[in-house]
Structure 1
Amino acid sequence: MSKPLEGKVSVVTGAASGIGLATAKRLVKDGSIVFIADLHEDALAKAVSEIGSNAIPIVADVSKVSDIKKLFETVKDSPKGGRVDVLFANAGIAAAAPIGSISEELYDRIFSVNAKGVLFTVQEALPLLGKGSSVILTSSIDNFKGLPGYSLYGATKAAVRSFARTWTADLTKSRGIRVNVVSPGPIVTPMFEAGAGEVKAKIIASQVPIGRNGRPEEIANVVAFLASDASSFIAGAEIQADGGLAQI
């Protein structure tokens, strides 16, 4: 049997760890060549060693448009690339700062990666995206829930959710490019562990109806579905993969 992404070319940002790494592994397993982009060169090299030869690493900081341009120039010129069938705009950062203590520097840093980075990642990919391509954005259940101290993060993730709606209007009917969003709940990634700590992570897990925090591979499964033809009638949608945390 053929694999669902056999012969496809994918690009994953924020791919050196967490959800991005798990997704890159899954897309390769499903038959795709995957260009993995991340800020950290050493972590990218480790990721390639885990994924295999069908992962092509590219060092890129998505807060810099010049880096994003170079990313897609590399994909375009690569013998294994030349086009993009699946784009997972996943790179993101989080930091806590309650209103009253938010600095301009923190605002610029979070919005530059989480909102600006997503926007220009998709925009620079457009010349390589054809009819039937799938664009998946990483938002968060924080795009509609108020998490204390995370107003900047939540606002950027709300912007990402909005992008998917508008870009569906811009791209789906006219070019056949589907844009969807996956919004994870608490997922055990290096970023989550650094922000929550062991005690808080256990408290959060106790609030999840399924009874635990999620695994990166569980989000990768959702992305793989949205990347494949199995989701061919889904556009502009948000899939909340949160163990039920935001649903009750």
Structure 2
Amino acid sequence: MKKLADKIVVITGGNSGIGKATAKLFAKEGAQVVITGRRQSVLDSALQEIGSGAIAISGDVADIAHHQAVADEVQRRFGRLDVYMANAGYINLTGSNEVTVEDYDRHFAINTRGVFFGVQAIVPLLSEGGSIILTSSMAATKVLDGHAAYAGSKAAVAAFARNWTLELRDRKIRVNVLSPGPVETAILSKLGIGEAELPGFVDMMAGMIPAGRLGQAEEIANAALFLASQSGSFVNGIELLVDGGMALT
């Protein structure tokens, strides 16, 4: 039997990278998938890959009104939600002395505020026994060069999860944090690192991982499936590191 048969799922940032890989896997496992993202053309392309009747809602998670629009559309179409994955994120690697106010605000608007108000808007629709997955990063607990603003914005997510786990316990809604290590996705080209320096950066990161390589988006998706499905039914309020052991180095 498919692990997410007849489940309604929303994945923010489901048009690329980890979000898209997760959307594809969830759809394969029987879920009705709803993805969100900023660019309609990218969403349309992702829908072609996801298939299974997936739908897309365009908008920016930094825009508070977008979250209510998502909730309203899910209510109109399905009347409920079973899994919410707050996955959309932003990263720009910059030393603390060079972080601008605009870049700082963008990190926190997307990675922190967007998560908080996305969950706030969607919780009334969540079924009893539903699952919330918050995508953070192992960088929230491991110090890495140039990650201060990003790490700070992601560290708050674990605090949200701990509070929501208790706040939502009467409805048996599980809240967990998924924290990937470095993953081979298109976001590598958006880290503020020059194209010439990128291969060296990837090799350096791989050298810090006991597994000896960067992760694949599909591997993170498998972990998300565990948290979303009955396989993880007694897992609640945790931070699951999916980092090839990098946190140990």
Report the Cα distance in structure 1 between the residues aligned to 2:116 and 2:171, rounded to whole angstroms: 18
Query: What SS does structure 2 have at the residue aligned with 1:37?
Result: strand
Letter in 2 for 1:203: M
Q: 2:178 aligns with which of 182, 187, 192?
A: 182
Query: What SS does structure 2 have at the residue aligned with 1:100?
Result: helix
Question: TM-score normalised to the size of structure 1?
Answer: 0.96
Aligned residues of 1:62 and 1:113 also touching (Cα < 8 A): yes
1:201 aligns with 2:202: yes
- Which residue pairs with 2:2 in the alignment? 3
Query: What SS does structure 2 have at the residue aligned with 1:233?
Result: coil
- Which residue pairs with 1:12 in the alignment? 11
Report the Cα distance in structure 2 between the residues aligned to 1:85 and 1:38, rounded to whole angstroms: 20
How far is 1:157 from its partner?
A: 0.9
1:64 aligns with 2:63: yes
Report the Cα distance in structure 2 between the residues aligned to 1:57 and 1:144, rounded to whole angstroms: 33
- Which residue pairs with 2:230 in the alignment? 229
Q: 1:106 aligns with which of 103, 126, 129?
A: 103
Report the Cα distance in structure 1 between the residues aligned to 2:36 and 2:79, rounded to whole angstroms: 16
Report the Cα distance in structure 1 between the residues aligned to 2:85 and 2:129, rounded to whole angstroms: 15
How far is 1:108 from its partner?
A: 1.1
Query: What SS does structure 1 have at the residue aligned with 2:151?
Result: helix
- Which residue pairs with 2:153 in the alignment? 156
- Which residue pairs with 2:89 in the alignment? 92
4+ aligned runs moved over 6 Å, structure 1: none
Out of 94-103 and 60-69, give the one that drifted further.
Answer: 94-103
How far is 1:180 from its partner?
A: 0.2
Query: What SS does structure 2 have at the residue aligned with 1:192?
Result: helix
Report the Cα distance in structure 1 between the residues aligned to 2:39 and 2:74, rounded to whole angstroms: 18
Aligned residues of 1:193 and 1:201 also touching (Cα < 8 A): no
Report the Cα distance in structure 1 between the residues aligned to 2:221 and 2:10, rounded to whole angstroms: 14
Report the Cα distance in structure 2 between the residues aligned to 1:207 and 1:96, rounded to whole angstroms: 17
Aligned residues of 2:22 and 2:221 also touching (Cα < 8 A): yes
1:166 aligns with 2:166: no
Once the two structures are superposed, residues 118-164 of structure 1 have per-residue CA deviations (whole angstroms, 9 ceiling, x without a partner) of 00111100110121100000010011111122111000110011111
Question: TM-score normalised to the size of structure 2?
Answer: 0.95
Aligned residues of 1:16 and 1:36 also touching (Cα < 8 A): yes
Once the two structures are superposed, residues 185-215 of structure 1 have per-residue CA deviations (whole angstroms, 9 ceiling, x without a partner) of 0101111243252221122112211111000
Q: CA RMSD in A?
A: 1.1
- Which residue pairs with 1:125 in the alignment? 122
Identity level (%): 43
Q: How many residue pairs get matched?
A: 244
Letter in 2 for 1:141: M
Aligned residues of 1:133 and 1:178 also touching (Cα < 8 A): yes
Letter in 1 for 2:122: A
Once the two structures are superposed, residues 58-111 of structure 1 have per-residue CA deviations (whole angstroms, 9 ceiling, x without a partner) of 102100011111111111111xx2211011100000012212222211111110
- Which residue pairs with 2:247 in the alignment? 246
